[in-house]
Structure 1
Amino acid sequence: MSTTETPSLFNNLETLSTQEILMGINSVDQTVPQAVAQALPQIDALVEATVARLGQGGRLFYIGAGTSGRLGILDASECPPTFGVPQGVVIGLIAGGDTAIRKAVENAEDDVNQAWQDLLAYNINEQDIVVGIAASGRTPYVIGGLEQARQRGIATGCIVCNAGSTVASVAEFAVEVVTGPEFVTGSTRMKAGTAQKLVLNMLTTATFIRLGRVKGNKMVDMQLSNAKLVDRGERMLMDELQISQTEAADLLRQHGSVRAALEARQQQ
């Protein structure tokens, strides 16, 4: 039995008070960063592989089912506004298609051929990298997609939460974050999902820092799509250039991004 399916360390949950439930969940959640830390060498290798492909014009694809698929889509959707990369550089695919983002399509994950068909719709090629996300490490949708990609010379990685899984065995750059039993037995949207989110944060953040999408510690390429982000951009310019808010606002309006504004001022 996979460790994510082993019985919870807590029993008779329905008899617990709200405070006891919350304390129990919190206590097991604290083990997740420790599990991620154990996988840092594997995450390092996956980041390096991703940087190499994206740096040459390739794309990062996530494939997953259920919670894992939704987490991939979430991470992909956050990359353009955060790092200013074009739509389509990071792409999240979920078993069952877009319908499955909001409504579970549970049997979709059992189709071993569908992930490759989904990838073909994007004209996937050897410049790209495919990362399978599967808490169990045995999802047929993910296994099939990784196998087909690897057979065609496309780089593959994975994020799983069990040791020695099938998904890890078919991925070139496997990340295994062994999170153990869930508070509610088998509910991998909990600890396993949290671990996957942490690794996804690391993967794309580290990748785009390496690719020059962060300056100092600031998101200089972020999209200025709302008032909060415009204000953040102005504060970045004020801090970096030691100018007033009015000057920063004028620069931002004139150049359209923090990076462009900084480069324009530095060239003066």
Structure 2
Amino acid sequence: MSNHHPRLAIVTGSDSGIGQATATLLASEGFDVGLTFHSDEEGIRRTAEEVERRGQRSFVEPFDASSPDAGAVVDRLADQLGGLGVLVNVAGTGHSDRVLDLDLDTWRRVLATDLDGPFLCSQHAARRMVQQGDGGRIINVTSVHEHLPRLGAAAYCSAKAGLGMFTKVLALELAEHGITVNAVAPGEISTPMTGQDESEAYHQERPGNPVGRPGHVAEVASVIGFLASPRSAYVTGSSYTVDGGLSLMAAHGHDTATGWREI
């Protein structure tokens, strides 16, 4: 079984944030990259420029992760790339509604975007990779909320937990084809999705986080880069939490006067 999957990658949601940082990093490591955007045309143009500045080819397609034919974007980009070695599912959305106020339309929109989209893209990518016979990598960006609940985010947490389990089942099914499937679970990262610019990551205090600040997109991209590389050949069905230790704090509350106290 070949472990030399082609250096051809697709990164969904690569118009900003973690997706943009991932596409740029993969280009630095010699990948041609297929990019997708939902509405940010300026952002995706910047990403394409960064990829090409690194001497790699880029191809851009519009993408709605909640669409029933979301997987077709993988085929369109793989055709332009001339194959496929790595898929990174980044595109996602959140919401802020308590369950008692959460309407079915919002629930379905979030699940369609955060779970159906990655399912369809993974399925299309896996079919390509199996057909090519060179192995491959599928990396799903979940969230620390794949593992931990959050008030007001029932649909988001459910979708991310579902994507985490889908990652494991897919890893089990694709191992015989030399394709690994893993998840990366970011905590709070300074991105447009959290209402921040990435440059703010190192300049904000987060007393509730052991490292004391939000994460930078490059700190997530570097873990994705590892999982996209031959160095991770024996890693599959895993979820890598990238959260500065936030998820270690379940037994602690924060009291600003006295610092940490046990709950």
**Shared topology, TM-score over 0.5?**
no
Higher helix share: 1
Higher strand share: 2
Which structure has more RCO (C-alpha within 8 Å, separation ≥ 6)? 1
For normalisation by structure 2, the TM-score amounts to 0.35
- Rg (Cα) greater in structure: 1
For normalisation by structure 1, the TM-score amounts to 0.34
